[in-house]
Amino acid sequence: ATPICFDIETTGFSRERGDRIIEFACQDLRGGDSSTFQTLVNPERDVPNQHIHGISTHMVNRPDVPRMKDLIPILVDYIASRRILGGPVILISHNGRTFDVPFLKKEFSRCSHEIPPYWLFVDTVPLARILAKSLGLSASIGLKINLQALREYYSIPLIGPAHRALSDVHTLALVLQKMTSQLKITVPGLIKQSFR
């Protein structure tokens, strides 16, 4: 299996009201040449929430920034190029089940593309809950389960601006390494936690 951490930034929180992906980043955890991929995405609409991620309408609504329909074939090819011997690719994100994956699915559907069948998804939020429970902490009053709280818990320095996709991917990769080590979860264990 090929483990790849990914993150997105969006114009808002509602896929149903037409919010769009404006940044995508991923990192192949095996490393090597071209192990990271990052791009802004032209949503073809205004970005009302620049204060969250620092991405402005001017930064993305430009002809040199790919639209999602142009990016999807490039992204699928990139992930296929990282795939090991026809095995699955595990795309790992924090809060993926309720945010990142549904947004990605919506964008693929909107652009008339199918998510490849060998893509599996893992959300690290349930792992953080297991960790909090194993440490005897309540997720609500002790160890918070957002990515920045986990970064602070593990004393991982911030790499780049918070709430930018590539910075969050680098943070997630390090948090995942610490969590899986602490919980003794291997790649087959991640596959058991995966969803399509």
Q: What is the 3-state secondary structure (H, E, C) of 145-162?
A: CCHHHHHHHCCCCCCCCC
HSE-up of 77 (CA within 13 Å, CB side)?
A: 5
Is residue 196 a part of any domain in this protein? no
Catalytic residue, candidates 94, 113, 163, 170: 163
| Rounded average pLDDT over 128-132 | 90
Percent helix, strand, coil in the chain, to 5, is 40, 20, 40
Is residue 195 a part of any domain in this protein? no
**4 in Cβ contact with 91 (< 8 Å):** yes
Active site residue 163: yes
What pLDDT was estimated at residue 139? 53
Q: What percent of the chain has pLDDT over 70?
A: 96
What pLDDT was estimated at residue 88? 97
pLDDT band for 140, please (50, 70, 90 cuts). low
What's the domain count of the chain? 1
Going by C-alpha positions, the residue among 34, 41, 76, 38 that lies closest to residue 60 is 41
| Residue-wise pLDDT tens digits, 15-64 | 888 899 999 999 999 999 999 999 999 999 999 999 889 999 999 999 99
Is residue 192 a part of any domain in this protein? no
Residue 122 belongs to domain with CATH number: 3.30.420.10
Neighbour-count burial for 3-21, b at 16+ CB within 10 Å, e otherwise: bbbbbbbbbeeebeeebbb
162 compared with 142, residue with greater pLDDT: 162
**Structural domain boundaries enclosing 91:** 2-187
Is residue 194 a part of any domain in this protein? no
| Residue-wise pLDDT tens digits, 79-124 | 999 999 999 999 999 999 999 999 999 999 999 999 999 999 999 9
pLDDT band for 141, please (50, 70, 90 cuts). very low
Is residue 193 a part of any domain in this protein? no
Query: pTM of the predicted model, to two decimals?
Result: 0.94
Is residue 10 a part of any domain in this protein? yes
